[in-house]
Amino acid sequence: MEYGDFLQCVQERTKKYAGKGGIVSVNHVIKNNGCELDGLVIMEKGKNISPTIYLNGYFDEYQSGKDLDDIVTEIMQKYNENKDKLQIEADYFDDFNNIKACIVYKVINYSRNYRLLKNVPHKKILDLAVVYYCLLGQRDGENITALIHNSNMKKWNVTEQDLHYAAVENTPKLLESQIRPMSAIISDVLEDCELDSRTDEMYVLTNKSRLNGASCILYENVLRHFAEQIGRDLYILPSSVHEVILLPMYEDYDKRELECMVRDVNSDGVAKDEILSDRVYTYNRKDGMISL
């Protein structure tokens, strides 16, 4: 089968699992950095939320010879494992007051997400865009989220500024920041690893869930307190959308060389949908500003 036929076939074979009055659909989704995926959604009657199961990887398995019945069985197993992780009343999303307390933000690359940003409220900061989503649940090391689109904002009759105010208040509370020395993180993973001396000067900033943790650079006072603690301005290296590396600003560091290093890592070591930026930022203690 060609890809389109595969999607249609999976959709038809999973319809029976939606039950009477349920709907099964395949939605084309634009993810971070222009990555496009096709997600299967099985919406049982009386529900307004369901896990999205992306089918692109399953098609690769099909092309490699995996039986279609086995693929459908695997998809349904994944659906059943996740469908009841969150229960929400049918009209929950209709009222902004219901979800206001769970609105948070993340940062993504502005130019790489041109198409996505046409459809979602956002605020441009440097070469990044702040976008908003609902943090619906946190369990078993996973975050259950829903990106907020312009259509949601229109339905709630709120402005982007309303979303921003809510997210600025909620995000540091729901997704607390943490800074750890790079050497400690490497040691946790590779106990017998011999570390480069420069590693001792690097620190990783993320949130406690380690998901979309690069947004911590915008938390009030996080960078200021850390810079004051070490007595240096900072280079901020965008490791991914999930974390950044903080580097004390010494004279022997060259920003252009650091940016070359970031570009090399992004090219070879970071998944396309997790790249944040090829640029290196600086944080100045005197004015408390981040700049390119």
Taking all residues of the chain, what is their mean pLDDT, rounded to a whole number?
90
Residue 11 belongs to a domain: yes
Q: Is residue 256 part of a domain?
A: yes
Mean pLDDT score, 259-265: 94
The two three-digit tokens of residue 221, written as one number: 């006072």
Contact 120, 146 (CB under 8 A): no
Which of 9-18, 76-85, 184-193, 233-242 is predicted most confidently? Answer: 233-242
Across the range 253-281, mean pLDDT stands at 94
**Would you state the pLDDT for residue 48?**
74
On the question of pLDDT at 286 being above 70, the answer is: yes
- Please state the rounded mean pLDDT for residues 56-72: 96
Residues 158 and 242 grouped into a single domain: no
State residue 10's pLDDT score: 96
CA distance 59 to 65: 10
Nearest Cα to 23, choosing from 46, 3, 6, 4? 46
Look at residues 123, 147, 174 and tell me which one is the last residue of a structural domain: 174
| Within a domain: 245 | yes
Stronger pLDDT, 281 or 93, i.e. the higher one = 281
The fraction of the chain above a pLDDT of 90, given in percent, is 75
pLDDT band (50, 70, 90) for residue 222: very high
Report in angstroms the alpha-carbon separations of 84 from 43, 48, 80, 144. 12, 12, 8, 12
Whether residues 185 and 108 share a domain: the answer is: no
Q: Which long-range contacts (CB under 8 A, 24 or more apart) does 17-26 make?
A: 17/42, 17/76, 17/79, 18/42, 18/43, 18/44, 18/45, 19/44, 19/45, 20/45, 21/45, 21/46, 26/55
**Is residue 87 domain-resident?**
no
Name beta bridge partners: 146: 134
Read off the pLDDT of residues 6-48 as tens digits, 9 standing for 90 and up: 999 999 999 988 888 889 999 999 999 999 999 999 998 877 7
Mean local confidence (pLDDT), 274-285: 96
Domain stops at, among 128, 146, 174: 174
User: Which one, of 276, 183, 273, lies nearest residue 238 by Cα?
Assistant: 276
Domain count, the chain: 3
Give the model's confidence band at 199: pLDDT under 50 very low, under 70 low, under 90 confident, else very high: low
pTM of the model: 0.88
Terminal CA-CA length for the chain? 48
Q: Is 158 helix (H, G, I), strand (E, B) or coil?
A: coil
Query: Residues 105, 163: one domain?
Result: yes
Residue 207 lies in a domain: yes
Q: What are phi and psi of 85, to 5 degrees?
A: -70, -20
What is the amino acid identity at position 45? K
- Considering the domain architecture, whether residues 278 and 182 belong to the same structural domain is answered as yes
- One domain, residues 191 and 284: yes
Q: Let me know: does 125 contact 105? Beta carbons within 8 Å.
A: no
**Structural domain range at position 226:** 177-291
Task: Round to whole Å and give the CA distance between 44 and 15.
Answer: 10
Domain boundary, last residue among 151, 174, 197: 174
Write out pLDDT tens, residues 227-244: 999 999 999 999 999 999
Percent of the chain surpassing pLDDT 70: 92
Tell me how far apart the alpha carbons of residues 77 and 82 are, in angstroms, rounded to a whole number: 9
Is the pLDDT at 88 greater than 90? The verdict is no
Are residues 114 and 204 located together in one domain of the fold? Answer: no
Residue 92's pLDDT band (cuts 50, 70, 90):
confident
Residue 65 shares a structural domain with residue 123: no
What's the pLDDT score for residue 189? 47
Which pLDDT value is given to residue 200?
Answer: 64
- In the predicted model, is pLDDT for residue 69 greater than 60? yes
